[in-house]
């Protein structure tokens, strides 16, 4: 498994790139759901 933080950075870059489109809100929702799932599946370590 790759580091979740790298994944989040990649996702954020994708969001910034797609910010000009109207799908930005949908992407944000998907990302939020994914982040919540990741945070719930991984015990809190360096996130604070």
Over residues 1-22, the pLDDT tens digits come to: 456 777 888 888 887 777 667 6
Average pLDDT over every residue of 40-47: 69
Distance of alpha carbon 45 from alpha carbon 29, whole angstroms: 24
pTM: 0.41
- Closest to 14 in 3D by CA, of 5, 24, 22: 24
Look up residue 23 and give its DSSP letter.
T
pLDDT of residue 40: 83
**Burial of 44 per CB tally in 10 Å (0-12, 13-18, 19+):** exposed
Structure tokens, 10: 């990649």
Pair 39, 47: CB distance under 8 Å: yes
């Amino acid at each position: 498994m790759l580091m979740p933080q790298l994944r989040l950075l990649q996702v954020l870059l994708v969001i910034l790139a797609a910010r000009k489109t109207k799908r930005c809100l949908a992407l944000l929702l998907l990302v939020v759901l994914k982040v919540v799932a990741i945070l719930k599946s991984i015990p809190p370590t360096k996130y604070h």
